[in-house]
Amino acid sequence: MKRNLKYFLGFVIVLQALQLHAQDPHFSQYYANPLYLNPAFAGVDKCPKVHLNYRNQYPQLGVYNTFSASYDQYVEGINGGIGIMAMRDEAAQGNLNLTEVSAIYSYHAALSRKFTLLSGFQATFRQRNLDWNNLTFPDMIDQFYGFVKPTNEIQPDQTTSSHLDLSFGMIGYTERFYFGAAAHHLTQPNEAFLSNNKLPLKFTAHGGLTLQLGRRRLYNSTDNLLILHAVYQLQGPFSQLTSGLSFNRGPITGGLALRTSLGSEANNPDAVIIIFGIAPEKSPYTIGYSYDYTISAFTNVTGGAHEITFSYKFPCFQKKKGIKPMKCPKF
């Protein structure tokens, strides 16, 4: 059963690449990969910061593996943040790969003593590669000997697609709440190998509210925070809503979230996301782990999804301005 489903999902993914448009990879710990969520996040922590992310989706089937790394910092001379980001997505057992390299700038404007507005711009080089010689199709199956027959599928003339992509995002925040929106793939390039289908725009809206639990004492104290957050994303005919809460209790952070696929006919819960991490208040690093417990029809066969994140904040070597860093979930 698992082996058949593995080949079926791999075939569907490749078929989407050949003739249709696919969705972007997604991360459950979206605020641990801020530049991927919204380019306006560049420099929001003021000090230089590195984020590393790994996601293994459907581990029992070996279908998706996604890697991401980013660096950003605030630069006083340009009144904003700069960042670079690289992402690698391997689908269909590594037969369909996507590589991205991005350069990002975010302008920071303190509109008042309490409210800050960020505007981010992102330029991305995208390359999608298809390993045709390693693919298997249903018409190659012999009932006795397995995949031994030649396929009648038409090989595309090009198995590599490269192009430049542009994105834009904005974020507004105070000490207690934040909200933002982003639009990715403004150039809508053609990524299909056998047809002329544009990569659809991806729209993202996100926000959150930070609540202080109890009073903080003057000595040997730690923040006890509860953060409510939500992310809505729409790309082509697909849309999803992820909402939940996270908490910070000293060096311990964690949370729960629910991801729901939205449609015109019905809303289908997809996964419950369980998050745990370590984020010492005066330490430069954070480590997070999350598990997607699938509650859709694939519950017993896919293995959900595992995600590991790491971030490191370097010391600031420049004078900090009055714009305060943004408080996001620490995962």
Round to whole Å and give the CA distance between 54 and 277: 15
Torsion over CA: 79, 322, 48, 203 (sign): negative
Q: Which residues form the domain of 182?
A: 2-200+281-290+308-313
Q: Which DSSP letter does residue 282 get?
A: T
- State which of 84-93, 100-109, 189-198, 265-274 shows the largest mean pLDDT: 100-109
Residue owning tokens 């959150």 = 208
214 vs 176, 185, 220, 246, 331, CA distance in Å? 15, 43, 15, 16, 22
Domain assignment present for 268: no
Domain assignment present for 260: no
Kindly tell me if the per-residue pLDDT of 265 is higher than 60. Answer: no
More reliable by pLDDT, 264 or 64: 64
Kindly tell me if the per-residue pLDDT of 116 is higher than 50. Answer: yes
pTM of the predicted model, to two decimals? 0.85
Round to whole Å and give the CA distance between 252 and 275: 11
Domain assignment present for 189: yes
Domain assignment present for 205: no
- Asked if 156 and 15 touch (Cβ cutoff 8 Å), the reply is no
Q: In this predicted structure, what is the pLDDT of residue 222? A: 59
Helices assigned H by DSSP within the chain: 2-19, 34-37
Q: pLDDT by residue (tens digit) across 10-26?
A: 444 444 544 445 679 99
Q: What is the DSSP string of 214-264?
A: SPPPSSS---EEEEEEEEEEEETTEEEEEEEEEEEETTEEEEEEEEEEE-S
Domain assignment present for 236: no
Domain assignment present for 212: no
Kindly tell me if the per-residue pLDDT of 5 is higher than 70. Answer: no
Q: Of 171, 168, 162, give the one whose Cα is nearest residue 190.
A: 162
Q: How many domains does the chain divide into? A: 1
83-94 b/e (C-beta count within 10 Å ≥ 16 → b)? bebebebbbbbe
Round to whole Å and give the CA distance between 261 and 271: 9
Angle CA(177)–CA(181)–CA(169) in degrees, nearest 5? Answer: 115
Confidence of residue 161 (pLDDT cuts 50, 70, 90): confident
Kindly tell me if the per-residue pLDDT of 183 is higher than 70. Answer: yes
Domain assignment present for 154: yes
